[in-house]
Amino acid sequence: MATNIVVPEVGESIVDARVAKWLKREGDPVSVGDPLVELETDKIDLEVAAPQGGVLSKIAHGDGADVKVGEVLGVIEEGRGQVGGQRSEVGKAEAESRKPEAVSRQPEADKTRSTPAARNAAQQNAVDLHTVQGTGDAGRVMRRDVESAVKQSGAPAPAPVTARPAPPKPAQEARPGDRTEERVRMSKRRATIAKRLVEAQSTAAMLTTFNEIDMGAVQALRERHKQAFKERHGVGLGLTSFFVKATIGALREFPRINAEIQGDEMVLKHYYDIGIAVGASEGLVVPVLRDADQLSFAEIEARVRAFAKAADEGTLSLADLKGGTFTITNGGVFGSLFSTPILNPPQVGILGLHAIKDRPMAVGGQVVIRPAMYAALTYDHRIVDGAEAVQFLVRVKQLVEDPGALLIE
């Protein structure tokens, strides 16, 4: 009896995916629950497991193919051993390239579990993943494991032997004056990011207002309490929690910035799901702090750090990324001094944070050097007026400059 392997339904907003990598080959025995193939979507990467035991008799879509939800990826035949009958062209080519020794090692190689970020790091550093001890769930190899292996070895390890040949390398290194080019296919996530950013600019009436925030009070408070905070909560006191709290305080006063447009109606949201933009190897992702107004400073810091770790390891779930009523993005961690963030549709507001720099400021009639940050609010002018956008950002500034006021909020 044959069983189809299909592209699973991941979420209502995901209708297609891309085959990133087959973990088994045609003719390989599989057990129920064995990971068979990795898929990448515009939001998350996932593994498709074997629905039954048997032999992978057919691969319908090879690496790099775009597929729809519900489409057949391959076929599993019941029983073990070699499957008779005609194989697909993908299977034939791979079977001809296999040697007895490689075949004997393949089941062991298939047991190696790793995240997409770990595999990218391994490829970049020529590390054999089979030699890396995983520290993730069920011994899964994480990016940090690969980086640790590179540091311990002091030099890149030899490239692993894989079932599929690596992309061909240039015959020689580029020399001064060479005009070389490289063509790289966008990942599913990167292509979707590109599409949505263009859509945001063409559908929303975006406008950005700026202000300057004196970060001295927050820095002093963090310095006074950072040790006790870390000992009590097990997490450092960062800047994110202050801006999340200040943003929620300002959103309460200006509710149209915590809304979206549906047809000719404004949907005002009286809950605060704050998206925190995180840079990942495959592109920007925005995990969401649900009911952020009910979270403590420590809970916000812990969840944001967990999001950053999961993004780096490629383990964010669809639930982490769904929804959001307002977004905060911090280009300052990369050194950005000034920028205009782009809206994250269907949201109508996004707060951009930047690097903190010592600058001369007028304080009490005197010019003093203070740690200052430029903050930017991009908003949809269709439902948010300029006056309320400016006042919103001023309110964020006031709350951050007087962090004690956040306790009242």
- pLDDT for 184-241, tens place per residue? 888 777 787 788 888 888 889 999 999 999 999 999 999 999 999 999 999 999 999 9
Beta carbons of 134 and 142 less than 8 angstroms apart: yes
- Which domains, and CATH codes, for the chain? 2-111 (2.40.50.100), 188-408 (3.30.559.10)
Whether 82 shows a pLDDT value over 70: the answer reads no
How far is 44 from 20, CA to CA, in rounded Å? 12
Whether 42 is catalytic is no
Whether 348 shows a pLDDT value over 90: the answer reads yes
Greater pLDDT, 155 or 290 = 290
Beta carbons of 30 and 36 less than 8 angstroms apart: yes
Residue 380's pLDDT band, with cuts at 50, 70 and 90, is very high
Whether 404 shows a pLDDT value over 70: the answer reads yes
Half-sphere exposure of 52 (CA within 13 A, CB side): 16
Whether 385 is catalytic is yes
Q: What is the pTM of this model?
A: 0.68
Mean pLDDT value of segment 124-137: 78
- Angle of helix 386-401 relative to helix 240-253, nearest 10 degrees, comes to 140
Greater pLDDT, 218 or 162 = 218
Mean pLDDT value of segment 117-126: 74
Note the pLDDT of residue 233: 94
Mean pLDDT value of segment 75-82: 72
Q: Could you give the strand order of the β-sheet that contains 29-30, starting from the edge strand earlier in sequence?
A: 2-6, 72-77, 54-59, 29-30
- pLDDT for 308-327, tens place per residue? 988 888 788 888 888 899 99
Mean pLDDT value of segment 244-269: 96
- pLDDT for 294-308, tens place per residue? 999 999 999 999 999
The 3-class secondary structure across the chain, one letter per residue, is CEEEEECCCCCCCCCEEEEEEECCCCCCEECCCCEEEEEECCCCEEEEECCCCEEEEEECCCCCCEEECCCEEEEEECCCCCCCCCCCHHHHHHHHHCCHHHHHHHHHHHCCCECHHHHHHHHHHCCCHHHCCCCCHHHCECHHHHHHHHHHHCCCCCCCCCCCCCCCCCCCCCCCCCCCCCCCCCCHHHHHHHHHHHHHHHHCCEEEEEEEEECHHHHHHHHHHHHHHHHHHCCCCCCHHHHHHHHHHHHHHCHHHCEEEECCEEEECCCCCEEECECCCCCCECCEECCHHHCCHHHHHHHHHHHHHHHHHCCCCHHHHCCCCEEEEEHHHHCCCCCCCCCCCCCCEEEEECCEEEEEEEECCEEEEEEEEEEEEEEECCCCCHHHHHHHHHHHHHHHHCCCHHHHC
The token pair at 249 is 């305080």
Beta carbons of 21 and 36 less than 8 angstroms apart: no
> Which member of 16, 128, 381, 402 is catalytic?
381
